Amino acid sequence: MEVYEFAIRLGAATLAGLLIGLEREWKDKEAGLKTNMLVAIGAAVFVMISLQFYGEKHVDITRVLGQVVVGIGFIGAGTILKKEESNTVKGITTAATIWCSAAAGCVASMGMYWELGILTIVVVIINYIFGHIDKRINKNES
């Protein structure tokens, strides 16, 4: 992979992480701008490294994708908290958003820019619009 191609793919991952993280930051969530950007960048770099081995004998480059998914699960799990006083769970959406940021990094690393744009827009819309809907539903239940 040429350096310019690496830079473009890394830039696309960074931009996707920025847009996803911006919504989280605006809502004052724990995993915001920096976290989502770094997750997208890290996932992209790991996948781009694995792409360097494409066509090599006895190498399965798709294993890195699986490891990214598993590894991000650990980071996401760290954002989920159980509130003892109300017996509720908090942070599941943040964990899912981190997972989506990793997916965005993986998509960017493959040079799938249209798909990356669609994914990023869908994640932001879901978090933004359905966040408002969720608040209204919870407000009505109180």
Percent with pLDDT over 90 in the chain: 54
Return the pLDDT at 142. 57
Q: Can you spell out the DSSP letters for the chain?
A: --HHHHHHHHHHHHHHHHHHHHHHHHTT-SS-HHHHHHHHHHHHHHHHHHHTTTT-TT--THHHHHHHHHHHHHHHHTT-EEETTTTEEE-HHHHHHHHHHHHHHHHHHTT-HHHHHHHHHHHHHHHHHHHHHHHHHHHHH-
91 pLDDT above the threshold of 90: no
Residues 6+ positions from 140 with CB-CB distance below 8 Å: none
Statement: the pTM of the whole predicted model exceeds 0.85:
yes
Cα–Cα dist 35/85, whole Å? 28
Domain ranges in the chain are 3-54+62-141
Please write the tens of the pLDDT for every residue from 40-87. 999 999 999 999 888 888 888 888 888 998 999 888 888 887 777 777
The answer to whether 116 touches 16, Cβ cutoff 8 Å, is: yes
Return the pLDDT at 141. 64
